Structure 1
Amino acid sequence: MFRWIMLLVVILIVAFFVYVSVHNKQPNDLGLTDGLFKPCPTSPNCVSSQAEKDDLEHYIAPIIYHGARKEIQLSIESYMLGKGNARVVTSSLGYVHFAVKSKIIGYIDDVEFYLPEADSVVHVRSASRVGYSDMGVNRERVRQVRDLLVD
């Protein structure tokens, strides 16, 4: 009986990692469309400064900054890459997209920053590719970037 239970546990673990691997693919509809990010899904594993303000589950305030747009973007890029688990997917002046991989299971989050030329604001969208809840990881990530830029 113990062997069957152990076999079932191993099968479930393997199935879980296969599921994560298959569903961890980069969405093809990220980026900006007319200055807007893709909306967050209904699941609570996404935050966006462009979500409706009354959508408390997804909305996070944009980051107001002082200084040069290019320097702010370089600060964001340096910080994110310095964490050791992020890679740049796309970068151009005013927009950067990172893929951030969790250390234990290998979940990937897509983190996008948009710095419109006309405003001293950073819009951000951080969303998990797989799963339902993110245990607040995406919101915390944005808070850390906010702390970096505001201090």
Structure 2
Amino acid sequence: MSSDQLGVKQGKLAPCPNKPNCVSSQSTGEKHGMDPIPYSGTSDEVLMKLKSILTNRKRTKIIESDPHYIRAEETSKLFKFVDDIEFYIDSAAEHIHFRSASRTGYSDMGVNRKRMNEIKEEYFQK
């Protein structure tokens, strides 16, 4: 998916493609779906926390950020594949919605789900 198709449109992140290399808190299916990250506090606090987590991840670079959205890229160590990671801070629902997807290939061997579980875990530890 090209970067111009990413982002938040009418409160929604892009849907996952029909491949098992994407997870999203806005997908309802078992293959792609994950629960959003609940939060309390301000969206500024959430943004700072997420930026700190992403900045400390190896091979991860924040590409775009505004008060309710972050887009980052993470490059795999061995084959240098790039994955897109997005966060949408839904202040009305007090949820952080996310999407993590491989740009190329079909299967990701569970990498995107594992990544989002790691980020969620770290979020709750901070």
Please give the range of the TM-score, normalised by the shorter of the 2 chains. Answer: over 0.9
Counterpart Cα distance in 1 of 2:24 and 2:118: 15
Distance 1:85 1:26 in 2: 20
Query: How many residues in Structure 1 have an aligned counterpart in Structure 2?
Result: 125
SS state of the match for residue 115, structure 1?
Answer: strand
Question: How far apart are the structure 2 equivalents of 1:77 and 1:140?
Answer: 19
| Paired residue type of 1:47 | V
| Conserved 8 A contact 1:88-1:97 | yes
Rg comparison, structure with higher value: 1
- Of residues 42-51 and 75-84 in structure 1, the stretch that sits farther from structure 2 once superposed is 75-84
Name the residue aligned to 2:119: 145
Is the aligned partner of 1:39 residue 2:15? yes
Aligned to 2:66: 92
Asked whether the 8 Å contact 2:70–2:86 carries over to 1, the reply is yes
Give 1:72's aligned residue.
Answer: 46
Aligned: 1:130 with 2:96? no
SS in structure 2 at match of 1:28? helix
SS at match of 1:59: coil
CA contact (8 A) 2:53 2:123 kept: no
TM-score, scaled to structure 2: 0.93
**Which residue matches 1:22?**
none
Richer in strand (by share) = 2
For residues 68 and 8 of structure 2, the distance between their equivalents in structure 1, rounded to whole angstroms, comes to: 11
Residue 7 (structure 1) aligns with: none
Amino acid at match of 1:31: G
Residue of 82, 85, 92 corresponding to 1:111: 85
Q: CA deviation at 1:27?
A: 3.4
**Equivalent pair of 1:32/1:38 in contact (CA under 8 Å):** yes
Q: Normalising to structure 1: TM-score of the pair?
A: 0.78
Question: 1:46·1:127 contact (CA, 8 Å) conserved in 2?
Answer: yes
- Provide the identity percentage: 37
Of 81-90 and 36-45, more deviation after overlay is shown by 81-90
1:29 — aligned with what?
5
Alignment check: 8 A CA contact 2:70 2:88 kept: yes
As a proportion of its length, which structure holds more helix?
1
Gaps of 5+ in 1: 1-24
Runs of 4 or more consecutive aligned structure 1 residues displaced over 4 Å after TM superposition: none
